[in-house]
């Protein structure tokens, strides 16, 4: 079975061999970039990721047979350039969520307001995460990398990845609980006052 490491090694003598790596991962890199930065950026990030990877394939660490952490690390570095626009987008999303218009169905209004408030809170919390914590969370959630893969992609120890993910999860959970008291009460193992009054 040909590993990613084998493909990269082969591409030294036969550059066409690198195309197999592109075929294997281009969609997942594109999906990750599109989710983080939008479709308009994803094509460029994907193309640049594989261009950078091809040009730097001599520096690939062949102890790792799976090239995904390496590729997502490159993509993440490219996406850092878009970090400011990403932060602006989340800020605008948070504002827009609070200004949505609602239909006439009175039964749905409260649910929509709750959903909008939660969405706004989560978007605000995402924006307030440190870039490193947000990056770990998005690599975990959107790139589907393992803790080890995130560590390779970001160049930090696995323990740091665990800490960053725990911190990000706690912040997002707290943000969600602000708009849903039942979540907060369940987290603390107590009976919800709101549900007992229902």
The model's confidence at residue 186, banded by pLDDT at 50, 70 and 90, is very low
Q: In the prediction, which pLDDT does 55 show?
A: 93
Q: In the prediction, which pLDDT does 47 show?
A: 92
Q: In this predicted model, what pLDDT tens digit does every residue of 94-110 receive, in sequence order?
A: 777 665 554 455 555 55
17 versus 190: which is more confidently predicted?
A: 17
The model's confidence at residue 148, banded by pLDDT at 50, 70 and 90, is very high
57 versus 178: which is more confidently predicted?
A: 57
Q: In the prediction, which pLDDT does 194 show?
A: 38
**Burial class (CB within 10 angstroms; exposed 0-12, middle 13-18, buried 19+) of 104:** exposed
Residue 65 has pLDDT above 60, yes or no: yes
Planar angle of CA 136, 38, 115, nearest 5 degrees: 75
Residue-averaged pLDDT of the chain: 80
Residue 50 has pLDDT above 90, yes or no: yes
> What 3-state DSSP class applies to 123?
helix
99 versus 78: which is more confidently predicted?
A: 78
Q: In the prediction, which pLDDT does 118 show?
A: 66
The model's confidence at residue 185, banded by pLDDT at 50, 70 and 90, is very low
Q: In the prediction, which pLDDT does 80 show?
A: 81
Sorted by sequence, the CB contacts under 8 Å of residue 168 that are 6+ apart come out as 129, 133, 134, 136, 137
Best-predicted range by mean pLDDT (62-66, 113-117, 188-192): 62-66
Q: What is the mean pLDDT of residues 10-35?
A: 93
Phi, psi dihedrals of residue 61, rounded to the nearest 5°: -85, 105
Question: Would you state the structure tokens that stand for residue 116, as one six-digit string?
Answer: 């909008």
- Say what the pTM is: 0.60
Q: In the prediction, which pLDDT does 106 show?
A: 54
Q: In the prediction, which pLDDT does 78 show?
A: 87
């Amino acid at each position: 079975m040909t590993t990613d490491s084998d493909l990269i090694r082969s591409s030294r003598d036969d550059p066409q061999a690198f195309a197999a790596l592109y075929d294997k991962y281009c969609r997942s890199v594109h999906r990750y970039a599109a989710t983080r930065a939008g479709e308009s950026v994803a094509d460029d990030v994907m193309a640049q990721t594989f261009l950078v990877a091809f040009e730097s394939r001599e520096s690939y660490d062949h102890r790792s047979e799976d090239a995904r952490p390496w590729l997502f690390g490159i993509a993440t570095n490219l996406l850092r350039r878009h970090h400011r626009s990403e932060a602006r987008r989340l800020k605008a999303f948070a504002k827009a969520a609070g200004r949505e218009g609602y239909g006439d169905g009175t039964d749905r209004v409260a649910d929509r307001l709750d959903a909008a408030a939660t969405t706004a809170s989560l978007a605000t919390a995402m924006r307030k995460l440190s870039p490193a914590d947000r990056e770990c969370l998005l690599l975990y959630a959107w790139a589907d990398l393992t803790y080890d893969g995130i560590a390779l992609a970001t160049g930090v120890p696995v323990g740091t990845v665990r800490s960053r993910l725990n911190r990000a999860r706690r912040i997002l959970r707290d943000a969600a609980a602000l708009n849903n008291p039942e979540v907060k009460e369940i987290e603390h193992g107590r009976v919800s006052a709101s549900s007992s009054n229902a």
